[in-house]
Amino acid sequence: MSRRFHRRQSARGVALISAMLILVMLTLLALSMFRGFGLQQKIAGNVLEKSRAFEAAESALQYGEFWLTQNAGLTGVPCTSTIIITSDADMRVCDTALATPADPASWVGASTYTPLGMQVQADGGAIVNGNSNADINYARSPALYIAYMGLGPNGTDALYSVTGVGYGGSKTSAAVVQSVVRQTAKVTSLTGP
């Protein structure tokens, strides 16, 4: 009888240890799964911020390109300070190109503006005063830099470098885009076709 009792106790001990090991493995699996969900959430947030910054930079670039089409023949002025654009008259073309376009902090002479409808708050985050569109705020206004590059290969077309930067909901999420715009010189006869 003592043998049966001893076998039952050892079988219970093995079952208990097996159950504990399975429970530990399931706990570790659940923890790693929750950690993976948190990482995916951070990745999704970063993709959203990158997308918002890119769209703001594209907005600045398109604004600069459009402004150039309306103002032909500009050759550039020395740009020594950053300006805030409140109207098209505030825009300018600089006479030197950017030394480091990828570093917006080094853009001496950039022009900043806030497109209509863009909410800018110094530190990003949620917009205060019960605004229901708390997800559309930006940490900084977009900026652009237009530089005169000289005449093109044909000797008559003017070339401009247009560089735009946009920020997402934090100052660390920034996107820089750049294009080259060619303005073609055109002569129109005033006497008829």
Note the pLDDT of residue 5: 54
| Assigned domain for 192 exists | no
Domain count, the chain: 1
Residue 134 falls inside a structural domain: yes
pLDDT in tens, the chain (193 residues): 555 555 666 666 777 888 888 999 988 888 887 777 777 777 877 888 888 889 889 988 998 898 888 887 777 888 888 878 777 777 888 888 888 888 888 888 888 887 777 777 766 655 555 555 555 678 788 888 998 988 888 888 888 999 999 888 877 888 899 999 888 866 666 776 6
* Beta-bridge partners for 161: 147, 180
Range of the domain at 91: 54-183
For residue 59, give Cα distances in angstroms to 3, 25, 79: 84, 51, 22
CB 97 within 8 A of CB 126: no
- What is the reported pLDDT for 169? 80
**Is 62 contained in some domain?**
yes
Instruction: Give the largest CA-CA distance in the chain.
Output: 125
Q: Coil, strand or helix: which one is 7?
A: helix
What is residue 172's predicted lDDT score, i.e. its pLDDT?
81
The answer to the question of residue 34 being in a domain is: no
CA geometry: angle at 43 spanning 37 and 44, to 5°? Answer: 90
Q: How far is residue 133's CA from residue 67's CA, in Å, rounded to a whole number?
A: 30
Q: Give the CB-side neighbour count of residue 85, counting CA atoms within 13 A.
A: 24
Angle subtended at Cα 122 by Cα 121 and Cα 125, rounded to the nearest 5 degrees: 60
60 vs 79, 99, 179, CA distance in Å? 18, 19, 11
In a domain, 26, yes or no: no
| pTM flag (> 0.75) | no
CA distance 168 to 48: 8
**Burial of 164 from C-beta contacts in 10 A (0-12 / 13-18 / 19+):** buried
Give me the residue label for tokens 């530190």.
123
pLDDT at 162: 92
> Which of 84, 87, 57, 79 is closest to 148 using CA atoms?
79
Is 173 inside any structural domain?
yes
Indicate whether 3 belongs to any domain. Answer: no
Enter the tokens of residue 103.
Answer: 């570093």
Cα gap 91→76, rounded to integer Å: 11
Gap between the Cα atoms of 123 and 132, Å rounded: 18
pLDDT of residue 91: 81
Asked whether residue 19 is assigned to any structural domain, the reply reads no
